[in-house]
């Protein structure tokens, strides 16, 4: 009997994340980079596609490919219906679910690496 209660408790805690989470594939339409190791010269960067999981119930998102994976903080703006999230790696992403539109920035600055500061926008589709 105790095992059944433990199992039900675990299921109760896990299942809502799967119910309210949606899986997307997002593709950048356009982006601009700024190279910190070259006096922030504007650079051309290849558009990418990346998976994105969004939980609209808990206002959370996850994507290892864009470093949206650790200590992600999100707020939902009811006025315009947009979810804004920021990771501790400097990635910020605004997602407008009504049209599956996103705007993203990568603000990680370290001149010892070749990472650029990036600003991009694009669209997502559900998996």
Closest alpha carbon to 76 in 99, 97, 53: 97
pLDDT grade for 6, boundaries at 50, 70 and 90? low
Per the structure, the complete domain to which residue 35 belongs is given by 21-126
12 lies in a domain? no
Q: How far is CA 69 from the centre of its chain?
A: 8
pLDDT, one tens digit per residue, over 67-113 is 998 889 999 999 999 999 999 989 999 999 999 999 999 987 666 66
pLDDT, one tens digit per residue, over 32-54 is 998 877 888 998 889 999 999 99
pLDDT at res. 4: 54
7 lies in a domain? no
88 lies in a domain? yes
Domains: count for the chain: 1
CB 51 within 8 A of CB 61: no
Q: What is the mean pLDDT of residues 58-74?
A: 93
pTM for the whole thing? 0.79
């Amino acid at each position: 009997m105790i095992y059944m209660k433990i199992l039900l408790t675990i299921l109760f805690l896990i299942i809502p994340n799967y119910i309210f989470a949606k899986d997307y594939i997002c593709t950048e339409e356009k982006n601009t980079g700024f190279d910190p190791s070259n006096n922030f010269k504007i650079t051309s960067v290849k558009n990418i596609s990346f998976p994105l999981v969004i939980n609209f119930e808990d206002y959370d998102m996850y994507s290892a490919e864009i470093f949206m994976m650790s200590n992600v903080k999100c707020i939902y703006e009811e006025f315009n219906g947009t979810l804004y999230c920021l990771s501790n790696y400097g990635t910020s992403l605004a997602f407008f679910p009504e049209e599956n539109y996103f705007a993203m920035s990568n603000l990680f600055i370290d001149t010892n690496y070749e990472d650029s500061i990036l600003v991009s926008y694009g669209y997502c589709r559900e998996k």
